[in-house]
Amino acid sequence: MAEHPRVPIQIDLKVHSPELVRAVSEMVSRHSRERLVLWGSFLHTTNSALYTANPRVPLFASAPRALLLLAAFCAGRLADVHVYESAVIIPWRLGAGGSPGRRVLNWWQPSLLLPDFFRQLNARGVSVVLYGDINDQAAFEACSAAGANAICTDSPSRLMRWLEARRGGPTAGQGGAGGSVEDAGNARGSPSGGASGGGT
Does pLDDT of 20 surpass 90?
A: yes
Phi, psi of 157 (to 5 degrees): -65, -35
Say yes or no: 22 and 71 in one domain: no
Higher pLDDT, 56 or 177: 56
Q: What is the dihedral of CA 189, 191, 46, 101, to 10 degrees?
A: -110
For residue 14, is it within any domain? yes
Domain with 64 in it = 60-184
Percentage above 70 pLDDT, the chain: 76
Instruction: Specify the number of domains making up the chain.
Output: 2
Mean pLDDT of the 58-65 span: 98
Mean pLDDT of the 23-44 span: 96
CB-count exposure of residue 152 (10 Å: 0-12, 13-18, 19+): buried
**pLDDT tens digits for range 144-172:** 999 999 999 999 999 999 999 986 544 44
Say yes or no: 94 and 145 in one domain: yes
The average confidence (pLDDT) of the chain is 84
Say yes or no: 173 and 79 in one domain: yes
Does pLDDT of 2 surpass 90?
A: no
Mean pLDDT of the 6-20 span: 95
Say yes or no: 40 and 120 in one domain: no
Helices (H), the chain: 18-30, 44-53, 63-74, 103-108, 115-123, 137-146, 156-165
C-alpha neighbours within 13 Å on the C-beta side of residue 145: 6
C-alpha neighbours within 13 Å on the C-beta side of residue 122: 16
Give the pTM: 0.79
